[in-house]
Structure 1
Amino acid sequence: MTTGPHPSGGYILEELSPGMVAVKDVTVTEDRIQQFAEASDDFNPVHMDEAFASKTAYRGRIAHGLLSASFGSAVVGTILPGAGAIYLSQTLSFHKPVRIGDVVRAQITVAAVDQESARVTLRTEGYVGEDCIMEGEAIVRVPRRRRPAKA
């Protein structure tokens, strides 16, 4: 079952359970690739130059792998677990390239909750259509309780 954003902005540790899933669809655009290149300082011509990229095994430009992976980070930071979640680690395997115009579906699934350490293991996946373009595992720290509302 797909989980939506928590009204508070983030789930606390005690509200999380294995099997919770959240998704976000993001379209890869020329602007996103350009902005990611500027933010990361990665101007590899396979991402930026169609003439160069057309001569590679990809036969055209592809998006940065970590741009696509960042869509999963958006789910973790804004939906599940949401506000207050802090990344501790992330593994990733990339399976297929992503191109301008593709819609990436970032899917995050709670795999395990460790109440003692306040750490949550997440399965991270990205799809374009039915094709899995990337997968991995993240470990995040999640708050145990909400901060009191300011008066």
Structure 2
Amino acid sequence: MNHKDYRSETSEEGFRYDVFISHAFEDKDEVARPLAIALKNGGLKVWYDEFELKIGDNLRRKIDRGLADTRFGVIVLSRSFFEKDWPRYEFDCIVAQSISGDYTILPIWHNVTKQEVLKYSPSLADRVARSTAAYTVEEIAKEICSVIKGL
């Protein structure tokens, strides 16, 4: 994609995507993929690995570009997420951008307790989150669409 094509796809605020979905591979089938599809069907521009990564891509560069080109970061927190390096990398980038005010974190708890989230990140445990134990992926997607479109 050339520079002109890229700029034509950005929003007025300069963001190419509405939301970046960070997740562990183990949560892909149950949460991440259905969420990405529901958000896309809800009219959002979604950075999700299966939508964006192509054979031969430099993984870190594509993720960095996606993170830089997005305003909202959905983080699917799970035990698998806590154990993996790539989700930790994405999480660190999202937190750094949220501290600078360039990013809003939208956490989803998947089969984890508040104590587990607190152990992983005390500041993240204090954010309002949605849990897959209490809400369906479709309900969570609908709320995320409402939050993003409402701004």
- Fold in common (TM above 0.5): no
Which bin holds the TM-score, normalised by the shorter protein?
under 0.3
Task: Indicate the structure (1 or 2) with the bigger Cα radius of gyration.
Answer: 1
Normalising by structure 2, report the TM-score: 0.24
**TM-score normalised according to structure 1 size:** 0.24
Name the structure with the higher strand share. 1
- Greater helix content: 2
